[in-house]
């Protein structure tokens, strides 16, 4: 083989396989924290909805400002925090088959293993729900991330109504206004968000989420398998013969 042929062989482009692509996609997911946020962050705090253009600029949302919601974008993510930084992150869309695991399945389920803050033990794991919306006035995409109980109620109500009315509105998504109401609890009334249907349905647009695909959830499953390394070693069971002899 000539020197030129050897160089051509060394410089030949290797066809990448699906396994390698998945590994690199997983690396991208780890290297780009927050890449599950589409557009600008949408937040709900103490009865007020705002769009965060940057860390110093918050744009309030009026009670009649319309948004169209992309239901297929609904996803859940699981993050482990340590010293205010994420150490583990995985998640996925429900239509792809990802379901956030219950808390007792995750490592550090015992409160004695949690870091202690001024207010007491703090769970290092946080489960959040996400959904993407489009501001019909500006065309901007925003993502609402919620980890509160009130947020779960709001998204549950939204998805329940959407699934009941979707077939009557093919190819369209529900238009909502970002509402708030007082929800009674054992500790008094608390501000609670609501994606309030207006009755209108619109196409979401070119940025709509694709249909579900089980292949997309494989990376999250691999990440969950790696969590076994966080489990504390199980203490070996002592037999009666291991007890100290009292004489």
Say which residue, 76 or 16, is predicted with more confidence.
Answer: 76
Q: Does position 217 have pLDDT exceeding 70, yes or no?
A: yes
Contact 193, 170 (CB under 8 A): no
Say what the pLDDT of residue 235 is.
Answer: 45
Indicate the pLDDT class of residue 135, thresholds 50, 70 and 90. Answer: very high
Say what the pLDDT of residue 238 is.
Answer: 43
Beta bridge partners of 173: 202
Indicate the pLDDT class of residue 56, thresholds 50, 70 and 90. Answer: confident
DSSP-H helix ranges across the chain: 3-10, 18-31, 149-165, 218-225
Per residue in 69-83, pLDDT (tens digit) is: 999 999 999 999 998
Per residue in 145-172, pLDDT (tens digit) is: 999 999 999 999 999 999 999 999 999 9
Contact 146, 44 (CB under 8 A): yes
- For the entire predicted model, the pTM comes to 0.76
Q: Does position 138 have pLDDT exceeding 90, yes or no?
A: yes
């Amino acid at each position: 083989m000539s020197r030129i042929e050897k160089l051509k062989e060394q410089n030949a482009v290797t066809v990448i396989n699906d396994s390698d692509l998945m590994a690199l996609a997983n690396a991208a997911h780890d290297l780009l924290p927050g890449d599950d946020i589409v557009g600008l962050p949408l937040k709900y705090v103490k009865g007020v909805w705002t769009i965060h253009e940057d860390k110093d600029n918050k744009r309030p949302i009026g009670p009649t400002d319309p948004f169209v919601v992309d239901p297929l974008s609904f996803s859940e993510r699981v993050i482990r925090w340590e010293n205010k930084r994420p150490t583990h992150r995985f998640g996925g869309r429900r239509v792809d088959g990802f379901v956030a695991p219950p808390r007792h399945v995750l490592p550090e389920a015992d409160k004695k293993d949690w870091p202690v803050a001024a207010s007491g033990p703090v769970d290092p794991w946080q489960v959040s729900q996400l959904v993407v919306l489009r501001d019909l006035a500006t065309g901007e995409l925003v993502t609402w991330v919620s980890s509160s109980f009130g947020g779960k109620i709001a998204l549950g109500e939204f998805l329940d109504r959407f699934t009941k009315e979707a077939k009557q509105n093919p190819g369209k998504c529900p238009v909502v206004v970002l509402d708030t109401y007082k929800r009674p609890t054992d500790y008094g009334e608390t501000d609670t968000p609501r994606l309030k249907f207006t009755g209108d349905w619109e196409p979401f647009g070119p940025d709509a989420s694709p249909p579900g695909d089980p292949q997309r959830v494989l990376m999250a499953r691999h990440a969950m398998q790696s969590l076994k390394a966080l489990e504390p070693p199980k203490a070996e069971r002592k037999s009666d013969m291991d007890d100290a002899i009292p004489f």
